[in-house]
Amino acid sequence: MTTHNVTIYSTPTCHFCHAAKDFFTENKVAYTEHNVASDLAKRQEMIQKSGQMGVPVITIDDKLVVGFDEEKLKELLGV
């Protein structure tokens, strides 16, 4: 099983963030989470990477996924 470097920028009230994290858990994908509602430095990092304020922003290795795109996540993670 290939290990990917997965990071999710999220907020506690974001429905699609919860859906993405549930997807990772169901597929046994380890991830790092940054709460951009309270972490201003990570919010700036997210905006620099994605060019927008919307969450979730997910990085898988060097790929960027904006929003919860389950098909794209499956493709990038090979699940």
Residue 4 lies in a domain: no
* Residue 32, token pair as written in the block: 């790092």
Residue 73 lies inside a defined structural domain of this protein: yes
21 falls within a domain: yes
Residue 1 falls inside a structural domain: no
- Beta-strand pair 63-66/57-60: antiparallel
User: For 60-77, what is the mean pLDDT?
Assistant: 96
Q: Is residue 43 part of a domain?
A: yes
| Ramachandran area for residue 20 (φ above 0: left; ψ -120 to 50: alpha; else beta) | alpha
Residue 2 included in any domain: no
CATH number of the domain that residue 50 is part of: 3.40.30.10
pTM attached to this predicted model = 0.93
Count of domains forming the chain? 1
Is residue 63, in this structure, part of any structural domain at all?
yes
Is 61 a member of any domain? Answer: yes
Give me 27's structure tokens.
């597929």
Query: What pLDDT does residue 3 have?
Result: 84
Tell me the pLDDT tens digit for each residue of 6-59. 999 999 999 999 999 999 999 999 999 999 999 999 999 999 999 999 999 999
| b/e 18-49 (16+ beta carbons within 10 angstroms → b) | eebbebbeeeebebebbebeeeeebbebbeee
pLDDT at 2 > cutoff 70: no
- The predicted pLDDT at position 77 comes to 96
